[in-house]
Amino acid sequence: MFVRQNRLAAIARRSSLVVAVILVAAISLAAEKPKKALAPAKPAAKAQPAKGQPAAKPQPAAASTGDTSKLGSNAPVTNPAWSHAPFESGDCSICHVNKDPKNPGKLTMPVEELCLGCHDQIADLVKGHSAKHKPAQENCVYCHNAHNAPEKKLLKQKPPALCYGCHDKIQAEATKGKVKHDALTMGEGCANCHNAHGSDVEHLLISLPYDLCVNCHSKDDIPDHDGKKLTNFGKLLAENPVKHEPVAGKDCSACHTPHGSNNFRLLKEEYPAKFYSPYDPKNYALCYSCHNDQILAQPKTTTLTGFRDGDRNLHYVHVNKKSSGRTCRACHEVHASKQPHQIRDAVPFGPSSWLLKVNYKQLSDGGQCEKTCHATKRYINGEAKAAPVKK
Amino acid sequence: MKRRGPRLAGLPLLPAAILVAATLYSSTGQSFKHVAIGDTLKNPTLPTLDGKQATLLRADRKVSVFMFLRPDQEYSKYVLDEMARCEHEFEGKSVAWVAIVSDYYPKTVVQPLVDEAGFKSPVLIDAGDTLYGDLGVILQPVVGIADGKLKLVAYQPFAKVNFCNVIRARILFQLGEISQAELDRAINPPKAELGGENEVAQRNLRFAEMMYKSKKYDVASERLQKCLEHDPKHAPCHALLGAIAADQGQCDVAKPALQKALELDPANQVALEAKKRCP
């Protein structure tokens, strides 16, 4: 329904009077409803507090400022690339009380009722879903120009600029973070992942995070900002049946901040880049978002982990060392593996990264690693018999 | 086990074996390590934050919701806030709630979080992480849901997106208030997207209808042609195209359009009315 350049815009350019009258009408249209403060969205990730201290109240990173004044007017623009068909028709009475472009008068009904009268499938999105975008519920012209616009879909600006008008915290994450995500600036921008009208997924996501992420990250040749090729997750997950819980739950955002981050691979917290590191709980902030830090802090346990020989905590033995502690990645794959507990198949070893097989075996009363970083060692935890890995 | 943190004074030690541990280990991580979905849970009585005692589950309720939390963890704080909201929403329904925290955390740390969240149900103190170990908790926060027969019916580790929607749906399903299809929809929501070609066709029809009312037949017809470009089987667009032609006395144009509309939708009122003008 949007067509390029129109004769009415040309008239408007010639006649400042017409522009002035339409501007007045547009202001009255935009004033149909008061601009309310927008509701906060769900909390974003924050750093871990000190041990034993309560967690800080989560902050609504996706919440907007509620200030829609930055979104501009609804008056026709002078150099539109797109025009709204009713405006194009020259009959202002489709939406306004008068036909005359010089004196269109007020709108015939509240703006959202007018828009949704024709855009009835948008109405379903706006009203029929659990996650709602306040501007879409309140006033379509916060984001769209009902007459004409420089951007398709009659958007006043191209996303993400349009969205940053209210979502300044997201803008800060996206622009100030050392690691950027191209998804924000390529294709449809924010609309690559979000439906600005409504959704059944929080944060107005089009679908659950994993389903969105693999849309792009299922290719072999996507480079990161340093030119290093990113993993093809479609392939990796198809080949590796034992999935990390957030992956199985389609929740990439449990570990990654998709708008931008100061951490490698858009991680929300720090994660050791190397296989060896002196033990420092700060290095494992990412893992401690969901895993119990005491697993690595207690030398003896019969409850915190199954990776123990009797009460000797083998997680502690491997990781909690003043020098050369093994980091999580030394033994575990992050996303998925073929072995139980996401144990790696092999570890890159030596300067040429020769692959040293881990040879982990899950046993009925524990497990063992055979001829690997060390000679074959078995542990007995006395826990329940293991079932075969589901493939 | 050597303990770094202060302990809650006066708490009795728990019996070592609290739960019936399932023998099935779920390698895909879709349950607790030692208890699978469908297993019957034991129902230990544990000390509570307010100095009383409470059971993990309630056999007199249709649904028991229990959650393992760590007070120094952001996601646990979030879950406690959200579950407090849920607790309020489900007030008066047959749902019991408990939160479980390790005795590693002193009351002075746990209590303010519970108060701030407004969580009213018991907060169980897991001395020595015994319950944690017996169930085989791997992730925290995590929520388990049991039915009135104390069977584990749902396991839900924290997710950053739609966590509470899913918990709410799982409870409603156990209460018999939503169907399996509605639960599935909450767990795997459909894509939020417009209807593609049909959406564009429909939008053109709506505009054509307005133009038709203003007797702007040319503009209306143009829009209806666009409608049919996007959805050639759009009965209302064929019908209105026929009606416009009929209004203008162009029965030779109207008849095929109306016939097509009625083939697609024999009950189309616009087409049936217009056919009277071009019999």
Closest CA to A350 of A273, A275, A279, A272: A275
pTM of the model: 0.79
Task: Pick from A96, A118, A337, A362 the residue to mutate for testing the B interface (most B CBs within 10 Å).
Answer: A118
Report the 10 Å Cβ neighbour count for A41. Answer: 18
Closest CA to A195 of B186, B201, B191: B191
Residue B103's domain is classified under what CATH number? Answer: 3.40.30.10
Closest CA to A289 of A277, A301, A271: A271
Place of tokens 């189309």: B268
Are B211 and A89 within 8 A, CB to CB?
yes
Q: Which amino acid is at A257?
A: T
User: Taken in order A311, A312, A316, A321, is the CA torsion positive or negative?
Assistant: positive
Are B2 and A298 within 8 A, CB to CB?
yes
Are B157 and A245 within 8 A, CB to CB?
yes
Residue B9: the pLDDT is 39
Q: What is the pLDDT along chain A (391 residues), one digit of tens a residue?
A: 333 344 444 434 444 333 333 333 333 333 333 333 333 333 333 333 444 444 544 444 455 555 555 556 888 998 899 999 889 888 888 899 998 888 899 999 988 888 988 888 888 888 878 888 988 888 899 999 999 999 999 999 999 999 999 999 999 999 999 999 999 989 899 999 999 999 999 999 999 999 999 989 999 888 887 788 899 999 999 999 999 999 999 999 999 999 999 998 999 998 887 888 889 988 899 999 999 999 999 999 999 999 999 999 999 999 999 888 889 988 999 999 999 999 999 988 777 878 888 899 999 899 999 888 889 999 999 875 444 333 3
Q: Do B70 and B117 belong to one domain?
A: yes
Are B74 and A51 within 8 A, CB to CB?
no
Cα–Cα distance between B124 and B52 in angstroms, integer?
9
User: What chain A residue is nearest to B222 in terms of C-alpha separation?
Assistant: A1
Q: Do B182 and B60 belong to one domain?
A: yes
Closest CA to A17 of A98, A104, A119, A145: A104
Q: For residue B40, is it within any domain?
A: no
Q: Do B237 and B162 belong to one domain?
A: no
As beta bridge partners, residue B126 has B102
Q: Do B259 and B176 belong to one domain?
A: no
Measured between beta carbons, the chain A residues lying within 8 angstroms of B3 are 298
Q: For residue B278, is it within any domain?
A: no
Residue A113: the pLDDT is 87
Measured between beta carbons, the chain B residues lying within 8 angstroms of A122 are 194
Residue A226: the pLDDT is 79
Q: For residue B2, is it within any domain?
A: no
Are B1 and A200 within 8 A, CB to CB?
no
Measured between beta carbons, the chain B residues lying within 8 angstroms of A191 are none
Are A203 and B161 within 8 A, CB to CB?
yes
User: What chain A residue is nearest to B73 in terms of C-alpha separation?
Assistant: A55
Is B44 in CB contact (< 8 Å) with chain A? no
Is A310 in CB contact (< 8 Å) with chain B? no
Q: For residue B34, is it within any domain?
A: no
Between residues A225 and B196, the one the model is more confident about: A225
A98-117 residues touching B, CB cutoff 8 A: 117
Q: For residue B242, is it within any domain?
A: yes
Q: Average pLDDT in the B216-222 region?
A: 91
Q: For residue B10, is it within any domain?
A: no
Q: Do B57 and B177 belong to one domain?
A: yes
- Give the domain-ending residue among B187, B211, B244: B187
Cα–Cα distance between A321 and A333 in angstroms, integer?
21
Is B181 in CB contact (< 8 Å) with chain A? no
Domain boundaries defined on chain A: 7-157, 169-266, 276-380
Q: For residue B73, is it within any domain?
A: yes
Chain A nearest C-alpha distance from B165 (Å): 9
- Give the domain-ending residue among B163, B187, B211: B187
Residue A62: the pLDDT is 55
pLDDT of B150 > 50? The answer is yes
Residue B264's domain is classified under what CATH number? Answer: 1.25.40.10
Are A385 and B130 within 8 A, CB to CB?
no
- Give the domain-ending residue among B187, B206, B225: B187
Cα–Cα distance between A86 and A144 in angstroms, integer?
14
Is B187 in CB contact (< 8 Å) with chain A? no
Are B130 and A208 within 8 A, CB to CB?
no
Place of tokens 């056999």: B59
Q: Do B204 and B183 belong to one domain?
A: no
Give me the domain span that covers residue B246. Answer: 197-271
Phi, psi angles (nearest 5°) of residue A234: -60, -45
| Cα end-to-end span (Å), chain B | 92
Closest CA to A202 of A136, A255, A251: A251
Q: Which among B102, B192, B223 is the nearest to A200, CB-wise?
A: B192
Burial code (b: 16+ CB inside 10 Å, e: under 16) for A191-219 equals bbbbbbbbbbbbbbbbbbbbbbbbebbbe
3-state DSSP of chain B: CCCCCCCCCCCCCCCCCCCCCCCCCCCCCCCCCCCCCCCECCCCEEEECCCCEEECCCCCCCEEEEEECCCCCHHHHHHHHHHHHHHHHCCCCCEEEEEEEECCCCHHHHHHHHHHHCCCCCEEEEHHHHHHHHHCCCCCCEEEEEECCCEEEEEEECCCCCHHHHHHHHHHHHCCCCCHHHHHHHHCCCCCCCCCHHHHHHHHHHHHHHHHHCCCHHHHHHHHHHHHHHCCCCHHHHHHHHHHHHHCCCHHHHHHHHHHHHHHCCCCHHHHHHHHHCC
Cα–Cα distance between B110 and B123 in angstroms, integer?
9
Q: Do B90 and B174 belong to one domain?
A: yes
Q: Do B226 and B93 belong to one domain?
A: no
| Omega before A160 within 30 of 0, i.e. cis | yes
DSSP state of A371: S
Q: Do B106 and B164 belong to one domain?
A: yes
Q: For residue B115, is it within any domain?
A: yes
Q: How many domains does chain B have?
A: 2
